[in-house]
Amino acid sequence: MRRSLRHRRQLRRASTDAELVLWYHLRDRRLAGIKFRRQHPFGRFILDFFCEERRLAVELDGGQHFDAAKQRYDERRSAFIREYGITVVRFSNDQVMRERWAVLEEIARALGVAT
């Protein structure tokens, strides 16, 4: 088994509560009938959620992402992904847990669909 596949399976098993909550709403085309993948490989990165049809990556950030060095890394990572014509939207885990419907509305807006 390829390392990437093993790593993605590990990430799925170790999902945060916020990832599980968001995945519940994105899986099985539940958001506007649009397909998302979870832990999708992209170059040397793994995207939290990816909609290939609409070229949208949804990234969730835990508390460790608020460190200045991590924020610079995340911005470089997002810039690399955007170079391939993919829109990147980021939310904190806290946003997903406290403002789930607003997060879903923002994702729908990025997809170009109404909720």
Q: Which domains, and CATH codes, for the chain?
A: 3-111 (3.40.960.10)
* Tens digit of each residue's pLDDT (9 = 90 or more) over 10-64: 665 668 999 999 999 999 999 999 999 999 999 889 999 999 999 999 999 986 6
Strand ranges across the sheet with 37-42? 37-42, 45-51, 56-61, 87-92
In the prediction, which pLDDT does 1 show? Answer: 45
**What gap in Å lies between CA 61 and CA 70, rounded to an integer?**
10
In the prediction, which pLDDT does 67 show? Answer: 77
- Residue 65 pLDDT > 60, yes or no? no
Count of Cβ atoms closer than 10 Å to residue 90 Cβ = 15
In the prediction, which pLDDT does 70 show? Answer: 85
In the prediction, which pLDDT does 9 show? Answer: 64
